[in-house]
Every structure is written in C-alpha cells, then in structure tokens.
Structure 1
C-alpha cells in the first residue's frame, strides 16, 4: 500500500512560503520532516543531505562567482555596460533582449547553462544595458517602466534557458521525461526527446521575441 504521509512535506513548504518564512529554513525543515515521516532516522536524513550536496558540489562555485561580480559592480560594471549601449545608434531594448534570448537558447542547447543567468549576467549586464537602450530611445523612464524593462530582462533569461536546455540530451530533465514515459510503456532515447524539444524552442523564441518587439512600441507610446 502506498504511504502518502510523506507528502505532508509539500504542505509544509506551501504553508511556510505563505507565511513568508525564511525559504532556506522552510525547505530544510520540510525535507527533514518528510524523511522522518518516511520512517528514516535523523542520521539517515542528514546522510542523504550530505550525499546530495556532494553529488552537486559544483553549486559551491557560486561562492566564488558572487564576490567577483560584487567587485565588478563596485567598480562600475553596470555603468560601463550602459555606456556601451548608449554609443550604439540602433540599439533598442527589444533588439538587445532578442539577441540575448538567442544567445541563451543556443548556449543552453549545447549544455553551457552556467555561462549566463540572473546573478552573473542579467543583474550586472543585461538589465542595465536594456535600461540604457530604453532611456536612449525614449528619454527618462518612470519607475513602472524601468521595473518592466528589468522584468523583461529576467524573463528573457528564463525563457531562453527553459526552452533551450531540453535540446541538450545529457540533462536531468530529459532523463526524468524518459523515465516517466518508460513507466507508461514508451521507450525513447534521450536524443529523440531532445530533438522533439527543438520545435518548442523555436516557438518560444518567436513568441517571446514578438513580445520583446512589442515592448519597444509600448515604451515609445508611454514616452510620448
């Protein structure tokens, strides 16, 4: 008989986020509770945490990257990125973000997921450049307009990564899809699943690219 009690951990996560508690504490607490409810002793739960951390130790690179980005920003990285865009005559927010979307999808499709992202490229480079392009084309932006440009910059990274990474067959999401389909009797190789991700990636590029092109028009109308 299937034991559904460990699913209480999901409710704990939902409740913790709803109460706006510290996300790290919520996730850690719910994971420990789930393990204990699943009849694991505390030592086994902690051992599982340690094994997961060891298997994914590349995450520790973040602690090296963040100080470097902080130093670069301290010495004017955002200002220099914005200055470069202001010198480009035909640069617009939409065109810049479309190019970044293309770059993000291509690099994700060949497995280079960590070459870009919110902390290392969007915040210090992409968002300031997009804002500079908008101000150069439409003049000063209101707070709402500036926040919209930042949101589109972050969304562009999300769309590019999400729909680009599944083209790379040696990734966890492809393995998960393969195993799920196998349980229902569909035997597919990872490469076959990756090829079927290409039409979705193309559609995502066209749809989000059109939204970015429309962003230029909206900023132009609001600036008049």
Structure 2
C-alpha cells in the first residue's frame, strides 16, 4: 500500500486556503507537518524554514507595498487618475487597458516588473478605466463598475501570466531549464523565450477583442440608460 502521509502538506494548504485562513500560517503549518511526517527533527525543520526565509527575504518587500499604496490613495492618487482621464477626449476602457497590457508585456520582456494588482490595478488602472466610462454616463451603475474592475484585473493577469517567460532571466524559465537539464535535454534559454513569444502575442490579441466587446457593451448600455434617464426627467 502506498504511504500517502508525505502528502499531508498539500492537504493542509488546500484546506487552509479553502477556509480562507492566514496564508503564511497555513504554509508554515504545512511545512512543519510535512517535516514531522518525514521524521525530520523539529530544530532541523525550523532551521530549513529560517534559511529559506533569509534567502528569499526580498519577497517581504511586498508587505511594504500595501501601506505605501494606502498612503498614496489617502492623498488623492485615485482623484488624480480620474482627472487625467477626464482631460483625455478619446480615452475609453478598452484603450486604457490595452495600453497597460502592452506596457506590461514590454516591461516583462525586459525583465522589469512594474505592475501588479495592488501596485497598479487597484490604485490607477481600474479608477482610470471607470473615469473613462463615466465620461459617457456620469452615474455608472455598481454592476458596470464591478465589470470594469474585473476587466482591469484581467488585463494584469493577461499581461503578467502570458508574458512572464519572455525574459531569459526570469525564475519560471530558469526552473524549466533546470528540469530540462535533469532530464538530459539541452534547451537554450533564448530558444524557450522565443517560443513564449507567440503565446504573448495571441493573449494580447484575445484580450484586445474581449475588452473591445465588453467596453462597447458597457458604453452602449451606459448611453441607453443615460438617454432613458434624461427622457424620464422630462
């Protein structure tokens, strides 16, 4: 009979995240449980966890992003984004999101990470997209706002996920390279990055079509509701 106890860590992570528990505590519990099942001494487990943390301590910089963004919003970051879009006559939801998507892919290809949901989408891209939609309908419904915010988040997903392997020094590409080498397959990083290019291009095209469709739908409904409201007021 196959011993499945070493997989207890996966179960703990799955259940913990499904119950929306603290992510860090869930991962620590899964790591400790897996180590105990593998008959590793408690001190060795803690030593391994501590070593992993110090080697990847730069990841903790993410914690500083949230209060920084909160301070910027407190002093009017969203309002400045709204005013910027309000001054652009031809701005639309689709144009804003496609511009951000293109910028995200280009910077990913250069190994630069300038995006992210908390850093860019929440404080800048989503408010700018909403402001563009409000130009045709100042009283945008909550449902349409949520649709725009979801589409803005999708632009980040399309921009990051489908172009993160364009840079030869990215972690994902190096991991694939390591696995290939272990399997005695000699594949160059440049070759793998080149083959990631069609995926990045197609994802840009697909999101462009989708954002155009959703943007036109929101714009059309907004215009109809605005006209109806004006006629009802008369």
Moved more, 147-156 or 15-24: 15-24
Partner of residue 23, structure 1: 23
In structure 2, list runs of 5 or more residues that go unmatched: 225-234
Distance apart, 1:20 and its partner CA: 3.2
Equivalent pair of 1:138/1:219 in contact (CA under 8 Å) = no
Q: How does 1:1-224 map to 2 (within 5 A)?
A: 4-113=4-113, 115-223=114-222, 224=224
Gaps of 5+ in 1: none
Helix, strand or coil at the partner of 2:129:
helix
Q: Quick one: higher RCO (CA 8 Å, sep 6+), 1 or 2?
A: 1
The structure whose Rg is larger is 2
> 1:10·1:30 contact (CA, 8 Å) conserved in 2?
yes
The alpha carbon displacement at 1:188 in A equals 0.4
Q: Post-superposition shift, 1:85?
A: 0.2
The alignment partner of 1:194 has SS state of helix
Question: RMSD of the TM alignment (CA)?
Answer: 1.8
How many positions carry a matched residue from both structures? 222
The alignment's TM-score, normalised by the length of structure 1, stands at: 0.92
1:27/1:170 CA distance change after superposition, 3 Å: same
With structure 2 as the length reference, what TM-score do the two structures score? 0.88
Distance in 2 separating the partners of 1:185 and 1:36:
33
Tell me the distance in 2 between the aligned counterparts of 1:171 and 1:4: 33
